[in-house]
């Protein structure tokens, strides 16, 4: 009985390790992809900022300074947006709602979606 219990415990531990390893690979791939996109956005931001500074030095115009600041702000905002995680909502996509409406009109003429109980 004790050996059977030990065997079950070992099998359970192995199953947990296999599950963890199988979940890590996709997450690592997604993290690598997001970091690569962030790296690209930061490089583009630096390039835009450098080009704007060169225009400012060559032209000496105040408008170029404002453009450089706006470009740097836009690039940093893009980098910040890349860093933020996407929020998962429970709302269905708009095209699915439209399809439901069209099916509702065609199949069930007196059906009202608002009468259904909300979860």
With respect to residue 4, please indicate whether it lies within any of the assigned structural domains: no
With respect to residue 15, please indicate whether it lies within any of the assigned structural domains: no
Q: Residue 52: is it exposed, middle or buried by C-beta count within 10 angstroms (0-12/13-18/19+)?
A: buried
pLDDT-derived band at 115 (thresholds 50, 70, 90) equals low
**What is the rounded distance in angstroms from the CA atom of residue 57 to the CA atom of residue 55?**
5
Q: What is the CA radius of gyration of the chain?
A: 27
With respect to residue 71, please indicate whether it lies within any of the assigned structural domains: yes
Question: What's residue 80's pLDDT?
Answer: 67
Going by C-alpha positions, the residue among 86, 85, 74 that lies closest to residue 41 is 74
With respect to residue 100, please indicate whether it lies within any of the assigned structural domains: no
With respect to residue 61, please indicate whether it lies within any of the assigned structural domains: yes
Question: What's residue 71's pLDDT?
Answer: 76
Question: What's residue 70's pLDDT?
Answer: 75
Domain that holds residue 57: 34-83
With respect to residue 106, please indicate whether it lies within any of the assigned structural domains: no
Average pLDDT over the chain reads 75
pLDDT-derived band at 109 (thresholds 50, 70, 90) equals low
pLDDT-derived band at 112 (thresholds 50, 70, 90) equals low
pLDDT, greater one: 101 or 11? 11
Flag whether pLDDT at 23 surpasses 80. no
Task: Please count the structural domains in the chain.
Answer: 1
Q: Is 101 helix (H, G, I), strand (E, B) or coil?
A: helix
């Amino acid at each position: 009985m004790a050996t059977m219990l030990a065997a079950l415990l070992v099998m359970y531990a192995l199953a947990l390790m296999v599950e963890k390893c199988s979940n890590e690979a996709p997450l690592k791939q997604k993290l690598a992809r997001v970091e690569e996109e962030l790296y690209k956005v930061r490089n583009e931001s630096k390039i835009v900022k450098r080009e704007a500074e060169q225009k400012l030095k060559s032209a000496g115009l105040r408008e170029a300074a404002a453009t450089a600041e706006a470009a740097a702000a836009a690039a940093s905002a893009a980098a910040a947006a890349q860093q933020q995680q996407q929020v998962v909502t429970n709302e269905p996509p708009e095209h699915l709602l439209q399809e439901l409406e069209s099916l509702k009109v065609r199949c069930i003429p007196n059906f009202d979606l608002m009468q259904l109980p909300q979860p």
